[in-house]
Each structure stands twice: as C-alpha cells, then as structure tokens.
Amino acid sequence: MLLFLGLSLLSPALQSQTNHNVQNGKSNNGWSAYGGDAGGSRYSSLQQINSNNVKKLQVAWTFQTGELGKYEGTNAREKAAFEATPILIDGTLYFSTASCRVFAIDAASGAQKWVFDPKVNLKNDFSEITSRGVSAWPAPGDKISQSASKRIFIATIDGRLIALDAKTGSPVIYFGKDGVVDLREGFGKDLSVTSPPAVIGNLVIVGSSMGDNQRFDYPRGTVRAYDANSGELRWSWDPIPTDSTDKAWHTWNGPKAHKTGAANAWAVISVDADRDLVFIPASSPSPDFYGGERLGQNLYGNCIAALRASTGKMIWYYQVVHHDLWDYDIAAQPVLIEITREGRKIPAVAVGTKMGHIFVLHRETGESLFPVEERSVPASDIAGEEAHPTQPFPVLPAPVGLQSITIADAWGITEEDKAEAEKRIAQYVNKGPFTPPSYEGTLVAPGNVGGIHWGGMCYDPKQELLITNINRIPAVIRMLPREKVTQLEKEHSEIMRAETGRQAGTPYVMKRDYLFKAGNKGLMMQIQPPWGTLLAIDLHNGAKQWEVPLGYMLDPRQYPDAKNWGSINFGGAIVTAGNTLFVAATLDNHLRAFNTKTGELLWEYALPASAQATPMTYEVNGKQYIVIAAGGHGKLGSKQGDFVVAFSVP
C-alpha cells in the first residue's frame, strides 16, 4: 500500500494518537484481526446466530486450499498444522495455510479471488510448519491512513515478512526488497514466524518462533517494528538485557548468561492504539529445561511487557515465571479487556499461562488487579542448577487445570491399564507446582502444552466473563548427563522412545514424554479425566462460573462415558453477543457451540477434518457466518485436510 508522502513523514506516535482508539474498537460486523480485534478479545457483537437458534446452523459454503498436495515429496505432513483464523476486510476473507500460502476468498460465497504462494521450501527442517494467520494494514478504522491502498502482511516460517496488495495478492514492490523483509538477516536460519504480525499506526510488529531445546545459544528473541510503507526497521526490543545499567542485567548470572537465546514472542502480540502500547508475551530463555548457564530470575524472559508502540521503550513488565525450567512460555495472546471496580471501568490485560495461572493486570501500570502471592517452590537436585526459590501464584482467579499429580490420579479403561498407570506414575517425582526437572524424571503438571495453550482466551464484555479451554496433561521431563545418554537409551526403552532435546552447550540432554500411550483403542491417557475442559471465570470477583468437559478422544459408541472425558485440544474459543461461544480444537473433529452463561452444549457438527484452529464470525449482506479452518495437526495425528467451512442459519 502506498502511503502518500505527507502521511509517511508523520511520526508513528502522532499516527497512533490520531487513530484515537479506532483500532481498538470492535466492528459491528467484522473480524479485522486474528483475535477479532487488536486486543484479542475474540468477541463479536453480532447476535443473529444466538443461543435460541444455533441448533439450526447449516453449512453455507466450503472452500478447499489444496494444501495437502504441497506436502508431496516432503515430510511436511508429519508436522503441518492448519491453525489459521481468517480475517475479514471489505467483504473478503484472508488467511494463510501451513505452508504460508495466502488466500483471499469472497466472504459470502467462499469463491477464491486470489492466492499468493511464497514458495517456502518444505524440505527444510522446520520445528513447526504452521501459520496462524495474516494481518491487514491500515488497521480497520485507522483514519490517518485511510487513503492508502490496503495491504495484507504474512510472516513466514522461513523468516520473511511479506507485504501483499489486498486486491491482487501481488507483492508490494516498494516494501523492503520487492515486497519482502528478510527477518533472518543477522539472526540466522533458526528464526521462523508462526503468528500474524501486530499492526498499530504505521508499524508492523513481529516476534519469532524457534525450535526449542536443541542448543543453548539460539538467536535472541528480539521483537521488531517495521514501517508498514517502506519496510524500514523503526525499533527493536530484546527480552535478554544487553545494557549493564538495566536492572534486569543482574538477573542473568554466570559467564555465559548473556549469551543465552530465545525468550522470544512466538504468540500473538496485542496492541492498544489509544494508549500507544504494545503487549509482548515473552517465552522461556533457551534451553527450556536447564537454566544452569543462566542462573537468576532471568528478566525479561517469561514476562508480559508493555512497550510504547511509537518508540519501543518499555513502560512496564510483569514476570509470570522466574527462571523458567518447564517450557512455560506465555503462549496465549494477551487479552485487552475492561473490568468493573466500584462502578468504574478499569482498563486491563488478561494473561493466560501454561501453568493454568491467569494474571489480570492494569493495562497502564502492570499492577495486578487481583491478589498474587509469592510462594516457596521445590528446589532442584540437578548439579549446576538453581531453581528460583519462589514463584508468583494468583489467588484469584484460582489456578485452573491440573496442578499436582499422585498415584491416586492413575487411570485406565481396564484394571490392567490402571495398574500400568500407577506403576508408571510411581517412578517419577512430583512435589507440587514448579517441581524442577530431575535425573529420575519429573511429572510436570501442567505440562508444557497447558493449562492454557496458544489457543488462548476470549472475553464477553457484557457479562465480564473470561472464557478459555485448557489441557490437563502432565509431562514427564528427565535430565540425562550427556556422557550417559547412549548407555541409558540402550538400557531403558522408555528413554529411547521419548522426545530428545539435545541442549547443546549444557551438561544435559532432555528427554520428554507424556502420561499416555498409543493403542488400538486410540490415545490412552493414564490420568483421571477430564483431559480437556472449557471454563468461564467471572471477573467481577475472580470466581469460576462453570467448567465442562470439551470433546472426546475415544469412540463414544464403544465407551459411552467418553464424552465426559474431554480431549487434548489446540485452538481457541470465540464468544458473541448472542450468548453463544464457539470452539473446535479437539481431536474428535467437531465444531461446538455452548451457552455462555451456563456452559451447556447447544450444538455440534462433525467437520471433514480436525480443526486445531480458532473460529471467527462476521456479517455480510445481512447474514452472519461462523467460519473454521479444518485441516488437522500432523504432530497430534488428528485427521488432516484442507477445508475452510462456513456456517449460517437458513
């Protein structure tokens, strides 16, 4: 999009001030950003589809991307996941596939308008093969840039930021070099991007994704802001301090500590245009499970950081995990909300975490709006490691999901299955939340897939309900002295089968597994159900309002109780003014609708493939649609496909 010369000379700060909250406003009929709006509320004021008529939903149209054909001749299908949420701009839906192809389709009919293929080489060894979506510039309602031609931005898994003309799908040649900014320049080939960029004023802001646990010195997780018109770098922010005068510098101890990598923001970034703020969800420093080379609290890793959008200057930060040893990234998009206190609306940001901890912070100061306690947690017995002695625990909302595990939690369909689970659990250590990794193996509860995962949360502003789906899956983390790995793998088949993190540059190799086993009946969990739930929290008082099992993993025809057992899930929920929330995410291939007030299941539909994605909704030509990407997830082994399915009430 060409921005007129006079407008391009305006500072980003002036542009953000001129926007005056319009980017944060929620369109009456659209879904203009990945999270519905720039603050990730995933709320729609539409109510043509509501709790009274949702049972009448029918398929309005289906679109197929042909994505599976892209994987031929590669191993990509084993990792590929269709996790995208489309956005609506001027009657057109825009979305990306796992290979980062961008599609524009008519929102009323599903007819293709154009497709852009960045030609990512899927034979390369990517840690993740997915793209959760695209972003539009100017942001809808951005009056300062309304004369500019609209652009669609895609950040790719091979480290490119690409600007496309929204009408034609052609690269905008005067952005970067022929429409492309090389994000890997100066950072190396390990840098990918899996989430859509954030857009505020004349800035496009990107984080990064990196393969975890293979080495100590991954690239640093620098967040960068680029000029949306030219592609020039405007500012960058490094979550690992580089200035010895920064107080955070002294929270990284050891001769190699400041050479640590990652702490990157791979989740979706939120922005508040009215306040000129960007909210960065930072992850664990590398490697995830051993911190002996980076002793100390490790600020600003695992922090929600509020930056001044126009300059990149930090305004405040809040660390949700000190000295992370559990892969407890902030995986969910920060949700910008308002809550009522003593009759006044307070601007807040809700931060959901893999630990099942939810922090509700004042948006302007970072002060917690509910009580949080620093509590003592177990020490590490790994030589060279020093676990942080305390961790922050929110009192309200109370932690959700699995928080500890004992032999009493063992489960199986048969008595033999249960006995096997008991024996397995008895092998490992769990001393409650934040039990550090160990030589013999630690049961980490919740595991690194949540709690609250990248699917994130949504917010109903009328009822002030915060809604999220969660996983209840413990991980088994074992630290092996590097010189003994080969011997231990030969002696123990379970160690041999487990996922390996080489953690080069440290004395240990990490082995990771989960408390389930594969069988002819399906994925057999070894802990008490439910294994996935959907829940709502009343932010008037921080209390849980309801919680219900979400989906199923075993065939209900064979096991009638399976629908009460829940499912591993990836992808989030959305909520509408029609007292209805929609979520897919589970391994049983269904899209579901629930009553927002009660959690009652109202409707479900078997999709042509599994949907590890977040739905969206919009209205065109007087008709409301619900849309979901159904393409499955290679790593989960769910049913794969290439479908985008739209529903409406006849």
Active-site residues, by number, are: 327
Rg (CA), the chain: 23
Burial class (CB in 10 A: 0-12, 13-18, 19+), 647: buried
Spatial separation of the C-alpha atoms in residues 398 and 538, rounded to whole Å: 11
Residue found by looking up tokens 């078997």 in the block: 606
Cβ neighbours of 480 (radius 10 Å): 22
Written as six digits, the tokens of 144 are 């300062």
Written as six digits, the tokens of 14 are 């002036």
E strand or H helix at 419, and its extent? helix 415-426
Nearest to 450 by CA among 324, 354, 527: 354
Spatial separation of the C-alpha atoms in residues 82 and 268, rounded to whole Å: 16
Cβ neighbours of 380 (radius 10 Å): 21
Q: Which residues partner with 443 through β-bridges?
A: 476
- In 405-464 the beta strands, taken as DSSP E runs, fall at 442-444, 457-460
Written as six digits, the tokens of 603 are 């409707």
Spatial separation of the C-alpha atoms in residues 629 and 646, rounded to whole Å: 9
Length of the chain: 650
E strand or H helix at 350, and its extent? strand 344-352
Measure the N-to-C terminal CA separation of the chain; round to a whole number of Å.
38
DSSP reduced 3-state for 623:
strand
261 Cβ neighbours under 8 A, 6+ residues apart: 210, 215, 216, 217, 218, 219, 220, 221, 240, 285, 286
Spatial separation of the C-alpha atoms in residues 94 and 105, rounded to whole Å: 7
Q: Which residues partner with 112 through β-bridges?
A: 105
Written as six digits, the tokens of 346 are 């307070």
- Spatial contact of 264 and 221, defined as CB atoms under 8 Å apart: yes
- ∠ at Cα 565 (563, 570), nearest 5°? 95
Cβ neighbours of 569 (radius 10 Å): 29
Residue type, 237: W
Q: For the chain, percent helix, then strand, then coil, each to nearest 5?
A: 10, 35, 55
DSSP state of 387: -
User: How far, in Å, are 44, 211, 435, 580 from residue 32 at the CA level?
Assistant: 11, 30, 41, 20
SS (H, E, C) 392-417: EEECCCCCCCCCCCCHHHECCCCHHH
